[in-house]
Structure 1
């Protein structure tokens, strides 16, 4: 399994943005990464300044959202949807998309559940619980 370091993830997004700005072709995961970046214009200035933001810490206790984590979660969601893993994620996403009316809002709803599951894995030192992830999404869909 690919397990990039924090610096590698950040450099990946800086590189994707730089390639896009230079009109260079993108390959592989770069296109879905760019899609996430373009949907978040609030991160564009940050991505224009890699020397300033490459090592910056984003502390949740300070109310900060880590833009690299956020973009990475969009990329993870893109991958999950492309292979329907866990099975049923694509169907639930389509339901969220109908309810929300746009891809970003639907992905952010999905991201809430993904973030909760990642937090549970880290907190409890357990494997990712796909069934709990899908139940979380079902609860979001039932709350509509």
Structure 2
């Protein structure tokens, strides 16, 4: 069975991971990976400590990045890299990271992921992993 969390569960996961870290509590492996990305984004720490932020609507019109979506995409990409799926993503990431650094390389991949997710939603089709890896390789 696949884990398909709700928006609220995702937001609670990141807020709770940050709370546990600040309290010095033991993190699960997934929380530890999430924490790595939370630490890379100090601009989101206030949101993670604010219960109202978990209920906020981060619309494009509001002009602000959704910290929970951004962190979720980092986590998804970390998982893809760990299993090298789609095949070739790990090599492309490593080559990007050599040129741009790990965080910027992840953001390059995130832009590609956002594009193919948007396209799949727009067309009502599964995510096109071939198009995804092709977009990434064009950035290398």
State the TM-score, normalized to the length of structure 1: 0.94
Deviation at 1:68, TM superposition (A): 0.3
Q: Please list every run of at least 4 consecutive aligned residues from structure 1 whose deviation after the TM superposition is greater than 6 angstroms.
A: none
Q: Does 2:39 align with 1:9? A: no
**2:133 aligns to what?**
134
Pairing of 1:67-106 with structure 2 (within 5 A): 67-100=67-100, 102-106=101-105
- State the secondary structure of the residue aligned to 1:71: helix
Partner of 2:31: 30
Tell me by how many angstroms 1:105 deviates: 0.5
Equivalences, count = 139
Contact 2:116 2:127 in 1 (8 A): yes
5+ long unaligned stretches in structure 2: none
Separation (CA, whole Å) in 1 of partners of 2:93 and 2:67:
22
TM-score (norm 2): 0.96
1:54 is displaced (CA, Å) by 1.5
